[in-house]
Structure 1
Amino acid sequence: MQKSIDKRKGRILLFVVGFILLLISMTASVSVGASSITFSEVIQSLLNNGHSKEEMIIRSIRLPRAILGALIGANLAIAGALMQALTRNPLASPQIFGVNAGASLLVVAFIIFFPNIQPSSLVYAAFIGSALGGGIVYTMASIGGNLSPVRLALAGMSIHLFFSSITEGLIYFNEQSTETVLYWLAGSIDGSQWADVTIILPWTLTGIIMAIIFSRSTTIFNLGEDIAKGLGQKIGFIRVVLGSTVVLLAGASVAVAGPIGFIGLMIPHIVRRFVGVDYRYIIPFSALFGAILLVSADVLSRFISYPFESPVGIVTALMGAPFFLYLARKGGKAS
């Protein structure tokens, strides 16, 4: 009983700390840039409806960027947690398993062949590409009935490289779109507008709600199919729901910001060390710390070539690549 109370207090404390860190990172995101803005000016611009240069920058450029970063970070972290449960592979993430690469391929193809396409329509292209990439990887790894983590990882990296090669080929033969598309492919949220937040918000809310509703089933599914069946879980239905949720969250994120990598790999491992293996806690805490990581990484990206902007995907890759190697060395366990 006492142990259970201590765990609950620990989770509450962790949530409070995480919420404070998120506020700090979002305040830094709104303050840091080519035009330096003080904390008092940030508060004043949020409370007042003035028309000064600083207030216009905050409300029109930096605030939507910070909010979009938080939403995308939450999306990718939850998608990674669900993929690791769905495949029971600790190295799973939307990037490694071809989901991001499939979404990127379809989005780039639509941008090149339909240059006048509306940004909101790119979300559907990303959904199709995400489902295509993840579906092919899962099918290839399932051939022969031996769905092992190693086969999933190999199939995922193969499809990721294959789709990435096609994407690069499309860009090569359409040089007029090269600069914009290459910058987008690095993963970037600078230049974000309220329209981008409007595009991604409904898909984010839908995906998070689905993940929370099925969090208990996800925990049981993660124990193994035989155990899940014994406890009355509908395995096929759960697979479809979890897979659809990953497609919603990862696809919407890629459509708006490009394929930002490694957040879905790192955050679920970090969260599990503090809250355990119950997905009723992994999902919300992954969302919180995924948001913190991406917003903070976006702040750091502004110093790479200051005062010019750099894609946030550069920072997440610098953090994520060593983490992936560390996990591989430890056999998929972060502890």
Structure 2
Amino acid sequence: MTGKAVRKNRKLYIVALTGIVILVIGILLQIALGSSPIPLPDVIKSLVATDDSKTTAIVQTLRLPRAVLAVLLGASLAVAGALMQAITRNSLASPQVFGVNAGASLAIVTTLIIWPGMNSQWTVYTAFLGAALGGLTVYLFATGGKTTHVKLALAGMAVHLFLSSLTQGAIVLNEQATDVVYWLVGSISGKDWTHVKILVPWAAGGLILSFILSRSISILVLGENMATGLGEKVKWIRLSAGILVIVLAGASVAVAGPIGFIGLIVPHITRKLVGGDYQRTLPFAALFGAILLVYADILSRYISYPYESPVGIVTALIGAPFFLYLARKGRGIKQ
């Protein structure tokens, strides 16, 4: 192994270790902070305690599932964004920008109006269908004539705003649907282990399959001709990655609403730190996505303290300027 490779591996280990430490600290802070702060030593004890104390109940039934959800959702949305940017070779691609989140939201709200008693599992399937229709609509609108990165992003934002308007209209016209307004901004407040159980199989399965597909994604990013020459089935890779985006983003929206911009921001940060090889980019994107959402959730509790704001507001405050910066650059994926 050359000296350059050794330094590169050392950098990866340092970035990974630093990220894990930051994530663990964030999880502990997320559990400790709230309307009634809990000292960190008590938090650590309560995580493994079996007593019936009030502190243990708060930690294990309210705050711990919320922290687990933040990790899973952040990882899922970040990997979904990285996959979208890879298969479209568009630096502006993300589930939020390309209408995937908005499509899932519209499908869920419409179905809840028609079928108020729909169980949670069917909510996830509905989100998958809406996510697929949203993404397909953007693709069909943007493929006429010469497709550019900005054109694709503008088509995505137009579809996103249109689908979001339909969702808001459905809520206004149906009084029974007003309880989902807070959810539509993107929130993990009030979630419990039931929501974790719904998300875990889809998030874990989607993330694992994404990591397995990462080598083929890395080759695809080099160009379709090169990928075909190396024996890769380009159409199969795109289809597989697209399905994984729908699973990861759809399940996330079904559980927590459309939390935006994580899938846009994190892949860029990840490629800057660890390079463009998706065998490294996807796992690190999952780590950084979890970190971003955990700390965004902490910040959401203090924007309008003592009241709590949806975490989607925080990610939007960070992500909107980042999107405008990337749109101004107007460039594709760098390797």
TM-score (norm 2): 0.96
Show the counterpart of 1:183: 182
Matched with 2:142 is: 141
RMSD: 1.4
**Does the CA-based 8 Å contact 1:187-1:258 persist in structure 2?**
yes
Distance 1:115 1:139 in 2: 32
Deviations 1:132-190 (A, max 9, x none): 1111212222234x443233212211211111111111011012321x21100010001
Quote the residue 2:219 is aligned against: 220
The answer (yes or no) to whether the contact 2:106–2:167 under 8 Å persists in 1 is yes
Number of the residue aligned with 2:239: 240
Distance (whole Å) between structure 1 residues aligned to residue 78 and residue 208 of structure 2: 14
Q: Distance in 2 between matches of 1:139 and 1:225?
A: 20
- State the 1:203 CA deviation: 0.4
Q: TM-score, structure 1 length as denominator?
A: 0.96
What SS class does the counterpart of residue 260 from structure 2 fall into?
coil
Mapped to 2, the partners of 1:306 and 1:111 lie a distance apart of: 31
Provide the C-alpha distance between the structure 1 equivalents of 2:333 and 2:314, rounded to a whole number of angstroms.
20
Matched with 1:173 is 173
Residue type of the alignment partner of 2:21 = I
For the 8 Å contact 1:327–1:334, the answer to whether it is kept is no
Cα offset, 1:333, TM superposition: 7.5
Partner amino acid for 1:53?
A: K
Structure 1 equivalent of residue 286 of structure 2: 287
Q: Deviations over 1:71-96 (max 9, x none)?
A: 00000000000000010000100000
Letter of the 2:315 counterpart: T
Q: 1:326 is matched by which residue type in structure 2? A: Y
Matched, 1:98 2:84: no
Decide whether the 8 Å contact of 1:34 with 1:306 is kept in 2. no
Structure 2 CA distance for aligned equivalents of residues 305 and 115 of structure 1: 32
* Residues 270 and 334, structure 1, Cα contact 8 Å, conserved in 2: no
Q: CA deviation at 1:25?
A: 0.5
How far 1:334 sits from its partner (Å)? Answer: 10
Q: Which structure 2 residues correspond to residues 316-327 of structure 1 after superposition, within 5 A?
A: 316-327=315-326
User: Does 2:109 correspond to 1:88?
Assistant: no
> How much does 1:29 deviate?
0.6
Partner SS state of residue 214, structure 1: helix
AA partner of residue 291 (structure 2): I
For residue 30 of structure 1, what is the aligned residue in structure 2?
A: 31
Structure 1 residue aligned with 2:42: 41
User: In structure 2, what is the equivalent of residue 16 of structure 1?
Assistant: 17
Q: Is the 8 A contact 2:104 2:134 kept in 1?
A: yes
Q: Residue 152 of structure 2 aligns to which amino acid in structure 1?
A: L
Q: Aligned letter for 1:21? A: I
Query: Identity of aligned pairs, percent?
Result: 55
The aligned amino acid for 1:238 is I
Aligned to 1:163: 163
Return 3-12 or 223-232, whichever deviates more. Answer: 223-232
Aligned residues of 2:186 and 2:259 also touching (Cα < 8 A): yes
* Native 8 Å contact 2:90 2:332 kept in 1: no
* Structure 2 CA distance for aligned equivalents of residues 306 and 334 of structure 1: 39
- Paired residue type of 1:20: V
User: Counterparts of 1:199-210 in structure 2 under 5 Å?
Assistant: 199-210=198-209
Note the C-alpha offset of 1:44. Answer: 1.2
Structure 1 unpaired stretches of 5+: none
One-letter identity of the residue aligned with 1:157: M
Q: Which moved more, 1:8-17 or 1:130-139?
A: 130-139
| 2:109 is equivalent to residue 108 of structure 1 | yes
What code does the residue aligned with 1:177 have? A
Q: Assess, with a 3 A threshold, how the Cα gap between structure 1 residues 332 and 67 changes in structure 2: closer, same or farther.
A: farther
Specify the SS of the correspondent of 1:139.
helix
> What pairs up with 1:228-307 in 2 under 5 angstroms?
228-307=227-306
| Native 8 Å contact 2:81 2:264 kept in 1 | yes
My pick for the range that moved more, 220-229 or 1-10, is 220-229
The aligned counterpart of 1:153 is 153
In the TM superposition, residue 118 of structure 1 has moved relative to its aligned partner by: 1.2
Letter in 2 for 1:84: Q
Amino acid at match of 2:22: L
Distance 2:278 2:322 in 1: 22
Kept in 1, the 8 Å contact 2:149–2:330? The answer is no
For 1:319, the aligned partner's letter is I
Residues 149 and 332, structure 2, Cα contact 8 Å, conserved in 1: no
Shift in Å, 1:27: 0.3
| Number of aligned residues | 333
CA–CA separation in structure 2 for the residues paired with 1:155 and 1:242 = 21
